[in-house]
Amino acid sequence: MSPPASTAALPLPAARPDTPAPTARRPAWRQRGIDLLLSWPFPLAVLLLWQVGAQFELIPPQILPAPLVVAQTFADLWGTGELQDHLLISLGRVLYGFSLGTSLGLLLGVSMGLSPAVRDYLYPTFRLFAQVPSLGWLPLLMMVVGIDEALKIILISKAAFVPVTVNTYNGLRNVPTSLIEVSRVFRFTRWQLLRRVVFPSAFPTLWNGIRYGLTHAWLALVAVELLASSEGLGFLIVYGRQLFQLDVVLAAVVVVGAIGFALDKVLSVIETRLLRWRRESF
């Protein structure tokens, strides 16, 4: 009887060619650094084209001043304190209007999201109100409240009110039914259901509404200051246009964009902290 063949002589199964090799996951800080580097080439290319066009006068300097001229104008406005004065006035208007609009939006959104009766009574009227842009109310409000600060606060509040209300309502209405059923199994009270299930589940959507509300409030501020104001960043843009000082216009536009980006970034950081707290609380 012949001895059994050695197992070493048996053919090994060939590796599947379509199986990807495991790759090491990049650390979070390295990935953020790569994303940051990838975000810079396009704005730098735009800035370079702007400088080349201004240097060779492809566009008349009266229409498009050079970047260095705009930077010098920004430094002059900052040095005299004029830019800070207009900026503080605009930020104050946004703070008041956004706070008022967000408070009313959260109140209405929570009421419609938790009460079918309130939703049936108010939701159709709210949708009709939301379809009219903020500036669409400008002529009527100018006749009612004039062109003073009340006009600006009301329009900014309306701009923040709509997205906050919509996202709050949708967040509460879209809580997974499986979570509701689990809470019933544990015999949660209504307050426990709201505190431990409904609001934590709806929080990401609700916070997105607050972020959109701040963005819309900032945009509405600039728009209303362009049309009816004697102070603020929007007025500074109009003032530069009227005097045909395009360097002042561009300096103010850069500040508007930078401040809007910074405000959204602050809310993004707060959201990350709050969501981490929410995960740790479960």
Q: Is residue 25 included in any domain, yes or no?
A: no
Write out the residue range of the structural domain in which residue 215 sits. Answer: 59-281
Whether the CB-CB separation of 165 and 216 falls below 8 Å is answered with no
Q: Is residue 274 included in any domain, yes or no?
A: yes
Give the total number of structural domains in the chain.
Answer: 1
Written as one string, the DSSP assignment of 201-231 is HHHHHHHHHHHHHHHHHHHHHHHHHHHS-SS
Q: Is residue 19 included in any domain, yes or no?
A: no
Q: Is residue 70 included in any domain, yes or no?
A: yes
| Sign of the CA dihedral with 219 first, then 222, 223, and 224 last | positive
- Quote the distance between the C-alpha of residue 263 and its chain's center: 8
Q: Is residue 256 included in any domain, yes or no?
A: yes
Q: Is residue 161 included in any domain, yes or no?
A: yes
CATH (domain of 268)? 1.10.3720.10
- Residue by residue, pLDDT tens for the chain (282 residues) are 444 444 444 444 444 445 455 445 566 666 666 766 677 777 788 888 888 877 777 777 777 888 888 899 999 999 999 999 999 999 999 999 999 999 999 999 999 998 889 999 999 999 988 888 888 888 888 888 888 888 899 999 999 999 999 999 999 888 887 777 777 777 777 887 788 888 888 888 999 999 999 999 999 998 888 887 788 899 999 988 888 889 999 999 999 999 999 998 888 888 888 777 555 544
